[in-house]
Copies of this chain bind each other. A is one copy, B any other.
Amino acid sequence: MTRADVPARPGRPRSARAEKAILEATVDLLAEEAGVAAVSMEAVAARAGVGKTTIYRRWPNKEKLIVDALATLKQPIPELSGQSVREDLVALARAIGHEQAGKHSRCHWNLLGGADRYPELLDRYRREVIEPRREVIRTVLRRGMRTGELRGDLDCEMVIAMLVGSMTLQARAPAPLKTLPDDFAEQAVDALLHGIAT
């Protein structure tokens, strides 16, 4: 059987529309103040205007539904030129910054706020959504160490924490906290590359 014979999902147009409505309803509920607790199959069905069976046909539980819904909020991983590490890091930093706006950040806060209560959900989110994106950054950093653009003794995890941390703190901050310039991605990458000491 070739790959074309096996649709990834039982996807007639009608069920594609239902799927979109279900994922959007999940995001909306998750972005509300009660977070993960607000998401139930009943609440999602009611908001999406579908029957619960339609949801269960595709998602056996709310954890899987939430992870898929969160994935829809992620920007696609940007195309990297591969020309210079600086350029690639700026592209990645910009993508991180862009995806933090609005609902994404509220969902993310609410997910972490309930992290103690939903360890499996968090673990799946990490494996399926966060980790593939971190791996792209790691690949760029390792390339830089190989080409000599970066110091050879870098701890990639630390650099990732600095890059992602700077971009998320800046981009997620609600209006009165947000006082940073539009070219923050470039500035942050340059500060990270060249340091702030004399």
Contact = CB atoms under 8 A, between A and B. Distances in A.
Contacts of A116: 106, 174
A28 to B, nearest CB: 13
- If over half of A's interface residues share one DSSP class (helix, strand or loop), that class is named, otherwise mixed; here it is helix
A157 B179 contact: yes
B196 A148 contact: no
Interface residues of A, number: 57
Nearest to A89: B196
Interface stretch (A9-17, A59-67, A71-79, A163-171): A163-171
A40 interface: no
A162 interface: yes
Contact of A35 (B33, B150, B184): B33
Interface centre among A164, A166, A187 (most CB of B within 10 A): A166
Interface centre among A151, A155, A169 (most CB of B within 10 A): A169
B164 A169 contact: yes
A33 B114 CA distance: 6
Contacts of A197: 149-151, 193-194
14 contacts: A34-B37, A106-B113, A106-B116, A109-B110, A126-B177, A148-B198, A150-B198, A151-B197, A161-B169, A161-B170, A161-B184, A161-B188, A164-B165, A194-B197
